[in-house]
Amino acid sequence: MTLAQIVVGWIAHSQSLIAHGLHSFSDLLSDFLVLYASRESAHPADAAHPYGHARVETAATLLLGASLAVIGAGILWHSGLRLQAPDTLPPVEWSAFAVAIVTVLAKEALYHYLVRVGERLRSQLLIANALHTRADAASALVVVVGIGGALLGWPFLDLLAAALMGFMILRMGVVLAWGALKELIDTGLGEAQVAAIRATLAETPGVLGLHDLRTRRMAHQALVDAHVQVDPRISVSEGHLIAESARARVLRTHPEVLDVLVHIDPEDDGHAPPARVPPARAAVLAELQPLLAGLPEPERVVLHYLRGRVDVELRLAPDAFPDLVALRAAERRLAEGLAGHGEIGEVTLVFRVAP
């Protein structure tokens, strides 16, 4: 169909038929792009492409869009120049009108065929392509009108139809290229999709809060990063379990999401990060060493970095103190020693239950 329109349009001196042939050629390129991108993007992730090959589709779309924009702009420019002197153009021949009519009928037949196949296979992609084909049939009607007007003595109508085809190709190219460019600069999902993902994460058992939710597109899918807040006193393994549960819920509920990275936070630090980095474990233990003189050796020392300070748990054996009086005295000494230590918030004595 593309070859027939271009060749007959050239022989019959119809600029609109040539332009519509180029429009059909752009549709053909789009179909081949879908086939190529589907094959290439299906390759699994590897060492050089840890997130997979989905961006192949984006790059190919950008290239195709830019090419179509150039073709459409050329047709539009060429038609505009010819419109300045339509009387100098050779007359349009009836063969162009016949091919234009056949094009409309063929596009309409292809639309019905694609709809039947799409419904049988339950493929929304094929049905969408069928609707695009019907839009092409409508644009072919514009060509029929333009050629018919030229045959009746108004040659500028053929040029106007060609200019309209050029504008349609230019618009298609700009839309494709702009969409691909937005993906390449990591444009996020829409507000409704982000809100739905946020709700799914927030409803995960164990999640107390959520901040710094970010999304970025990758072809027809998306990558998600999120910081979730959990109880600061739970174990690392329990926090990891909550993160994996949140990730699994998003992947199960939102098929457009390719992967989710969940960062666990003990508190909401999204708006007010600590003014300075708190001391590391070795520095805290060195600061505690003089305060622990005379106390039983703790079995474990657990640090909690909260509110810009460090809370310390000393895990002691059940028989670490002979009686309650000795325990209270040790607590008072610790409290007095901590009065001048701004980095350490509080020290808690925790006893292991005797077996």
Residues whose CB falls within 8 Å of the CB of residue 30, separated by 6 or more in sequence, listed in order: 64
pLDDT in tens, 58-75: 777 788 788 878 887 877
pLDDT digits (tens, 9 = 90+) for 41-50: 667 777 777 6
Cα gap 31→353, rounded to integer Å? 70
Q: Are 212 and 260 in contact (CB under 8 A)?
A: no
**Measured between alpha carbons, how far is 25 from 7 in angstroms, rounded to an integer?**
13
33 alpha carbon, distance to own chain's centre: 20
How many whole angstroms separate alpha carbon 124 and alpha carbon 258?
Answer: 20
Distance CA 187, CA 331 (A): 55
Please state, rounded to an integer, the average pLDDT across all residues of the chain. 81
Strands 344-351 and 309-316: parallel
Q: Cα separation of 91 and 157, whole Å?
A: 12
Alpha carbon distance 175, 42 (integer Å): 24
Question: How do the residues of the chain divide into helix, strand and coil, expressed in percent and rounded to 5?
Answer: 60, 15, 25
- Hey, what are 231's tokens? 């109880």
- Name the residue among 36, 16, 65, 33 with its Cα closest to residue 169: 65
pTM for this prediction? 0.59
Report whether pLDDT(291) > 90: no
Higher pLDDT, 51 or 118: 118
* C-alpha neighbours within 13 Å on the C-beta side of residue 310: 23
Which pLDDT does position 228 carry in this prediction?
93
Query: So what's the pLDDT on residue 250?
Result: 94
Q: Which one of 13-17, 246-250, 305-309, 315-319 scores highest in mean pLDDT?
A: 246-250
* Backbone torsions φ then ψ of 223, nearest 5 degrees: -110, 145
Of 126 and 141, the structure prediction assigns the larger pLDDT to: 141
Going from N- to C-terminal start, the domains of the chain cover 2-184, 191-265, 281-351
Amino acid at 227: H
pLDDT confidence tier of residue 218, bands split at 50, 70 and 90: confident
Write down the residue that tokens 């979730």 correspond to: 228
Point out which residues pair with 120 in neighbouring strands: none
pLDDT attached to residue 123: 63
Is 229 in a helix, a strand, or coil?
strand
pLDDT above 90 covers a percentage of the chain that reads: 15
Which CATH code is given to the segment(s) 191-265?
3.30.70.1350
- Identify how many contiguous H helices and E strands the chain contains and give both numbers: 10, 6
DSSP helix/strand/coil, 210 = strand
| pLDDT band at 99; cut points 50, 70, 90 | confident
Residue 272: its pLDDT value, please? 56
The confidence score (pLDDT) of residue 196 equals 94
Res 204 pLDDT > 90:
yes
pLDDT of 128 > 70? The answer is no
Check if the beta carbon of residue 96 is closer than 8 Å to that of residue 9. yes
Which of 164-168, 212-216, 302-306 is predicted least confidently? 164-168
* Domains 2-184 and 281-351 agree in fold: no
H runs (alpha helix) in 304-351: 324-338
Tokens of 198: 């946020």
Q: Which of 28-37, 112-121, 341-350 has the lowest mean pLDDT?
A: 341-350
Are β-strands 221-229 and 209-218 bridged in parallel, bridged antiparallel, or unpaired?
antiparallel
Q: 77: pLDDT confidence band, cut at 50, 70 and 90?
A: confident
pLDDT at 252 over 70: yes
For range 78-102, the mean pLDDT: 77
Which residue, 315, 303, 280, 288, is CA-closest to 232? Answer: 303
238 pLDDT tier (thresholds 50, 70, 90) = very high
Predicted confidence at residue 86, as pLDDT, reads 64
| Residue 15 one-letter amino acid | Q
Is residue 266 scored above 80 in pLDDT?
yes
Q: Is residue 225's pLDDT more than 80? A: yes
Could you tell me the strand order of the sheet in which 257-265 lies?
Answer: 209-218, 221-229, 257-265
User: Topology of domain 2-184, per CATH?
Assistant: Alpha-lytic protease prodomain-like (1.20.1510)
Range scoring the smallest mean pLDDT among 247-251, 268-272, 290-294: 268-272
What CATH class does 281-351 carry?
A: alpha beta
Nearest to 171 by CA among 74, 27, 69, 33: 69
